[in-house]
Amino acid sequence: MREIFEVRGYDGAGRIGELRVPRADTTVETPALLPVINPHVQTVPPGELESTFGTQILITNSYILHGSEDLRGPALETGLHELLEFSGPIMTDSGSFQLAEYGSIDVTTEEILRFQHEIGADIGTPVDVPTPPDTDLSQAQDEQTRTQERLELADTVETGEMLVTAPVQGSGYPDLREQAAREAYRTDLDVFPIGAVVPLLNEYRYQELVDVVTATKRGLGADAPVHLFGAGHPMMFALAAALGCDLFDSAAYALYARDGRYLTVSGTEHLADLTEFACSCPVCVDNTPAELEAAATSKRQRLLAEHNLFISFEEIRRIREAIRRGTLFELLEQRARSHPALLDGYRQLLEYPEQSAATDPTTKDAFFYLSRESAHRPEVIRHHQRLGRFDVGSELLLTAGNPSDSYEECWRLVAPFGPVPRALSDAYPFTAERPDSLDREAFEAAARGVARLVKSNPETDITIFHDDWPASALALLPGQVTCERLGARAETANED
């Protein structure tokens, strides 16, 4: 059992956690965003990050400090916290990203970990080998083996109270990612970043990202804090959090600002294309897009970076609150509607229903049916799993209308859940708020629920009175189910 990370609550696979950082003598509430600080170019000074944006923890690159004539000495003499003027925990990366960019770097895992320890880093990182997506399998396997060797070496380096990360590689191969995660988790290392996903993020390949993250999560224990390396765009934080990622790092706020790009939770805008800001952060209240455009380059970059940070931290707080309140899926469905690539990502997440259902709380305040994807939410899947364990008598009516005494037993029939015992029907999630015009997938999900119940009760005589199910849902019902449309009954009754 790892003692540095405690999960306080779940929503699906998303969780609120506390990461204990012993060297900084503090805890970080997760999901958390770590702004990336370039030691040479501080677009927003770290001190301000702490006071204005509520930054709990940041990340910088020890490889840049190690190789810098100007900064290496001061970093060693005064330590990282004084150098950056930031009193909270600081995580350091190792130069692996530079290794991926330039093919080689001039430090070893042992050297860089010692250096990170000497400059006072609170969380350090070994030199993993980032294997990008689309690498061929044998190379990805070789590089994963090398990464694992470095993790095992890192495990033997004396680093005192500094936490050490164990990056998980494996390119775009889910099985390799899962294996890499299992091997990383077997070490005594502390935090588990998912590596080399930046190309997927930059190209909005969220569907593949979901495969990579879910595979990694399968190889890790629930007590493993998971960092998504390079995830800095607020439009995808909700998706990443719902997959069970706890930490994100963002250079996007500064990199995008440099190109005149303005981040929102639903995408990126170019400053030059905007007439008004639909944002109430101090930057957007005090300036118009035209004023920012006309400002001096350094001022424009600084202000854009500040807006980008405001919006990013706001989204992180919104996500934490959604997890606490059990509304992460409602948030995710909104975000999925802001970009088709995110919709692909969300739909892919729903392809792993067991992974979300395993930790999803049994009760929440409300379930809002907001899109056809809602029919595949973990609450529905878990109910279907339960239906496989119910033992009903010889005769059962499932009705979307009023109960009837003419049957031995009578349950409700509620799309998208399917059969619901009367005793449960006023409980979460069967009290779901649904639109009057339900889509086909809600009824199909309900039909799958019926099929599940029939499978575990093959001897039971089951009748359903449904509320005008489409043919695609009726087609999913097992042949022995007697089936009638409620409206049809009423019509017949009127004719009598």
Contact flag: residue 92 with ligand GUN (CB under 6 A): no
Contact flag: residue 377 with Zn ion (CB under 5 A): no
Task: Compute the least distance from the CB of residue 127 to ligand GUN, in Å.
Answer: 7
- What is the 3-class SS of 288-335, one letter each residue? CHHHHHHCCHHHHHHHHHHHHHHHHHHHHHHHHHHHHHCCHHHHHHHH
Active site residue 259: no
CB 343 within 8 A of CB 337: yes
Q: Which residue in the set 35, 133, 167, 429 belongs to the binding site for ligand GUN (CB under 6 A)? A: 167
Strand partners, 262: 269
Q: How far is CA 249 from CA 246, 358, 363, in A?
A: 10, 27, 32
- For residue 97, give every residue at least 6 positions away whose Cβ sits within 8 Å of its Cβ, in sequence order, or none: 61, 130
Segment contacting ligand GUN (CB under 6 A): 123-131, 216-224, 441-449, 475-483?
123-131
Q: Which does 376 bind (CB under 5 to 8 A by kind): ligand GUN, Zn ion, none?
A: none
Residue whose pair of structure tokens reads 């995808």 in the numeric block: 236
CB 335 within 8 A of CB 266: yes
Q: Which does 198 bind (CB under 5 to 8 A by kind): ligand GUN, Zn ion, none?
A: ligand GUN
Task: Compute the least distance from the CB of residue 93 to ligand GUN, in Å.
Answer: 5
Q: Which does 284 bind (CB under 5 to 8 A by kind): ligand GUN, Zn ion, none?
A: Zn ion
Strand partners, 16: 9
Q: Which residue in the set 28, 196, 209, 381 belongs to the binding site for ligand GUN (CB under 6 A)? A: 196
Q: Which does 195 bind (CB under 5 to 8 A by kind): ligand GUN, Zn ion, none?
A: ligand GUN
Task: Compute the least distance from the CB of residue 104 to ligand GUN, in Å.
Answer: 15
**Which helix (H) or strand (E) segment is 455 a member of?**
helix 440-456
User: Which is closer to Zn ion, CB of 311 or CB of 410?
Assistant: 311
User: Which is closer to Zn ion, CB of 283 or CB of 392?
Assistant: 283
Size of the site for ligand GUN (CB under 6 A): 13
Q: Which does 96 bind (CB under 5 to 8 A by kind): Zn ion, ligand GUN, none?
A: ligand GUN
Provide the 3-class DSSP secondary structure of residue 37: strand
User: Which is closer to ligand GUN, CB of 44 or CB of 154?
Assistant: 154
Q: Which does 453 bind (CB under 5 to 8 A by kind): Zn ion, ligand GUN, none?
A: none
CB 366 within 8 A of CB 405: no
Return the residues of window 222-251 that contact ligand GUN according to CB under 6 A.
229-230
CA distance from start to end of the chain: 69
Contact flag: residue 93 with ligand GUN (CB under 6 A): yes
Q: Of these residues, 11, 25, 70, 93, which one is catalytic?
A: 93
Cα separation, 59 vs 84, in Å, equals: 11
> What is the side-by-side strand order in the sheet with 409-414?
418-420, 409-414, 395-399, 461-466, 482-485
Which residues are designated catalytic? Answer: 93
Binding site residues, ligand GUN, CB under 6 A: 93-94, 96-97, 125, 128, 130, 167, 195-196, 198, 229-230
